Amino acid sequence: MNQERLLQRFIRYVACDSESYDEREFCRMIEEELASLGIVPKRQEVGPLCGSNGWNTYSMLPGTGTPLLFSAHLDTVSPGKNISPVIEGGVIRSNGETVLGADDKAGVAAVMEALTAVVESNVKNRPIELLFTICEETGLLGSKHADYSMIESRDAVVLDGEELGSIINRSPAHMKLHIEIQGRSAHAGVSPELGANALKTATDAIAQMQCGYIGDLSVMNVANLLAPGKTNIVPDKAAFDAEIRSHSEEELQSLLCRTKELVQDSCRRYGTSCAIDESRVSNPLHVPEDSALIRTVSDAFRKTGIAPVIQKTFGGCDATWLSENGIASINVGVGMKGVHGCSEHIAVDDLVSIAKVLELLMGAE
């Protein structure tokens, strides 16, 4: 593994704009680099399904033993255009006007550098599969629509975690609700008694909903409250969104029912009606702590002097859809910090360490 090449690779990657829905140029860059290693990239044309001009990129390096899939996403959040990385005191950050894009180009760079080192070494390696996805940041869309018939591996390492050494083996089921309240308009000064206030209904329901952590297994949030209108008219329409995430399906369903009941009760109090649209974003992910995959990844961390930490998360990543399609998947931390903000950064030493871990994992069993 060439540390200077890794650093320059990462700098090159973050300087290539790839905000969600606009990943085309970065997709091309990765294709060219894979081809230069003698590896044939295969496009998964999921762009139209995601609203993107890019595509998922799949590739495989043959080897001996059990195949292992490595996955990272190509898109970044905004502001992610014209990123100008700065290296100070062994830390890479943006100039403060954009994100850095370490989420997830640190993962992409580590995978590609480890792969390059394996190809150059001419030593035995396990079969290595790669899946680079688009539109992860906008709802895991690239992995949701991926062509899993291409993939042989039954285990996967996703490089999209933050703290170096973290191994995320559990993520929650995730539900979203869009709630619309229908009231009745009336003149607020002349005949307010003839109206049915949709905004009051919505705020009454929201005030009773739990937000934030609910015990150890669940979390809820509400957002996007809208009730456009004039102050002299009783608002007849209001809408808001809610989400529920839980590691317990039973608790998820209980919270879902309770949320709908609160909205319906508020409607009865204010003489309004509601329409509730619910959608399942993802199912829960759980890879047992004693699985061979976690043991193997933990050993690779220890060999590079990093203590592995197995933990659950309430966030989502592409591991969710890999798992949903029969591939046991964990999300591994690469050392990025302050993600989704202009203070995002990563230590050079952490980037080097995760690349070394991946090189070990790509080696023959």
pLDDT tens digits, 182-218: 999 999 999 999 999 999 999 999 999 999 999 999 9
For residues 153 and 326, the answer to whether their CB atoms sit within 8 Å is no
User: Residue 308: left if φ>0, alpha if ψ -120 to 50, beta else—which one?
Assistant: beta
The overall average pLDDT reported for the chain is 97
Question: Which residues have CB under 8 Å from 299's CB, separation 6+?
Answer: none
Tokens of 135: 């539109």
Rounded Cα gap, residues 268 and 56, in angstroms: 48
pTM over 0.75: yes
Tokens of 337: 């910090």
pLDDT tens digits, 314-350: 988 999 999 999 999 999 999 999 999 999 999 999 9
Q: Which residues pair with 246 in a beta bridge?
A: 173, 218
Domains detected in the chain = 3-171+284-362 (3.40.630.10), 173-282 (3.30.70.360)
Max CA-CA distance within the chain? 85
- Where b means 16+ CB within 10 Å and e means fewer, 351-360 reads bbbbbbbbbb
pLDDT tens digits, 255-304: 999 999 999 999 999 999 999 999 988 889 999 999 999 999 999 999 99
